[in-house]
A and B are shown apart, each in its own frame.
Chain A
Amino acid sequence: MAVISNGTTVFDAGALGSGVPTGALTHIKTLTASADTATMVFTHGTSGVVFNNTYDSYLFKVINLHPENDGWFLNVDFSINGSDFDLEKLSNAYRAQQTESASAATVAYVTGADNANAAAVQPISFDSSNDDDHAMSGELQIFAPSDTTFVKHYTSRFIANGSSNFAADYWVSGFINTTSAITTVKFLMAGGDFDSGEISLYGVKG
C-alpha cells in the first residue's frame, strides 16, 4: 500500500518515497567480526554494499574492534578490481598518548605509519591491545571514491587501548594515488585476526 500526500508518494513498497527528505547519513552495511576473522571487506555490488557515486563520501565507523594478538596495527587497503590491493598512497600519521601510570604523555608524528607513495597497507590504529577489556573504535572517511579525475582522499581518527595500557589517539590522512574508481575497502590486522567487533559503512549525502 502506498501513502500519497498532496501528490507526493511518502511511502511505497516498504520504503520512503524518493522525494521525501531524510537524514544525510545512510547506513549501508555492518560487518561483525567473530573469532578468527582475518579480513573485513566491503565491495561495491556485493552483499548489499554500495560504494560508488551514489554518495559524496563514505564513512566507516569501527566499534569495539578486538584483535586476536597484542601490539599490531589495524590496517586498511583499497582495490579498483576487488582482488589487487597494490595502490600507492601518500599519507601522514600522528598520535597522542597517555599511559595509565601517567608516564609517557606525548603527541608525535609516527613515521612507521605513514606512506610515501608506497603500495603498502595504510595503518589507521597503531598498537592494539588484546586484553579482554580492550578494543579500538573510530572512523575512516573516504571522499568521492568513484571519481575518475582526482586521487582519492581519506581521513581517519581512532581511539584505542594501547598494548602497554595507554590511551592512544591516532590520526591519519592521505590520498590513494589513483584516478581509477575504488570499489573495495579491506580491513585487516598486521598480525593475527579479529576476535570481535563491528565495522559499519555509511553513505554521506552531499
Chain B
Amino acid sequence: MGLISNGTTLFDAGAMSAGLGGEMVFIKKLTASSSATLTFVDGTDNVVLDNTYREYIFYFNNIHHVGNDKKFYFQVNAAGGSGFDETAISTYFRAYEKEDNSSGVLSYETGQDMTGTGTIELSDSLGSDDDQSMCGWLKLYNPSSTTFTTNYVAECQNYHAGDFSLATKVAGYINVTAAIDEVKFYTNGDSFQTGTITMYGIT
C-alpha cells in the first residue's frame, strides 16, 4: 500500500520515495575481522552498484592492519568480468610529517601511481601499532556508464608505520566503457584486522 499526500507518493512498496530522506543514501557497511578483502558486488547482500545513483562514495573508518607497513588498494570488475584487473590510469601524490617534526614533504610518487591492470593504491605503509589506523574515502562517478570511462577520486589519512601522518590524494579513471559493478578493497599481504568500509549512493 502506498502513502500518497497531495498527489505525492511518500512511501510505496516498503520504501520511502527518493529524496525525502536525504540525498546521501546508505547502501552497505562491511566490517573487517581479519579479512583479506572487503568486496562490494552489485546485486549481492543488498549492494546496489548500478545506474540507481550517479555517484557512489566509500568511507574507510579506522582500517587497522594485522601486519605492519602494508598498502591499501582497490580494483574493480566490469560487468561480467572477474579478476579485478581493469585498466586504470591513476595519479598519486602525498604529504606527510613525522612525529619528530623532521620531514614535512609534498611529493608526487611515481612508484605508487598506476597505468595498467594492476592494483590501484590508495594509501601506503599502514601501521599495525594498537593505536594506528587509516581513514578516508573513494568516490566513483557514474560507474554504470557505457559511454564514458569511470572517473574516481580518493583521499586517505593514515598513521604511517614509520610514525608519521600521511595524507594521500589519488585520482584517475577506469579506462573501459563497460559498466563497473564490483569493487574490491585489499592489501599486499595478510589482512585487515578491524575497521569498516561503508558505501553510499548520492541521489
Enumerate chain A interface residues (CB-CB to B < 8 A).
Answer: 1-3, 11-16, 22-27, 61, 63-64, 66, 96-102, 105-107, 132-138, 157, 159-161, 166-169, 171, 198, 200, 202
Contacts and interface: CB of A to CB of B under 8 A. Distances in A.
Give the interface size class of chain B: 35 or more
Given A98-B91, A167-B172, A159 B152 contact: yes
Nearest to B26: A23
A167 B90 contact: yes
A22 B17 CA distance: 13
A14 B55 contact: no
A174 to B, nearest CB: 18
Interface string B140-159: 01100101110111000000
Contact of A133 (B7, B108, B148, B202): B148
A141 B89 CA distance: 26
The list of the 8 closest CB pairs from A to B, nearest first, reads: A23-B22, A14-B8, A169-B171, A137-B141, A14-B6, A96-B91, A107-B108, A167-B89
A32 to B, nearest CB: 11
Q: In the complex, which of the residues A11, A24, A136, A160 has the most CB atoms of chain B within 10 Å of its own CB atom? A: A11
A15 B5 CA distance: 8
Contacts of A159: 141, 151-153, 171-173
Contact of B5 (A13, A66, A133): A13
B93 interface: yes
Nearest to B112: A105
30 contacts: A1-B4, A1-B5, A11-B3, A15-B5, A23-B24, A24-B24, A25-B23, A27-B23, A27-B203, A61-B202, A63-B55, A64-B142, A64-B151, A96-B91, A96-B93, A96-B169, A98-B172, A99-B89, A105-B110, A105-B113, A132-B147, A133-B149, A160-B151, A161-B149, A161-B173, A167-B173, A168-B91, A169-B93, A200-B54, A202-B23
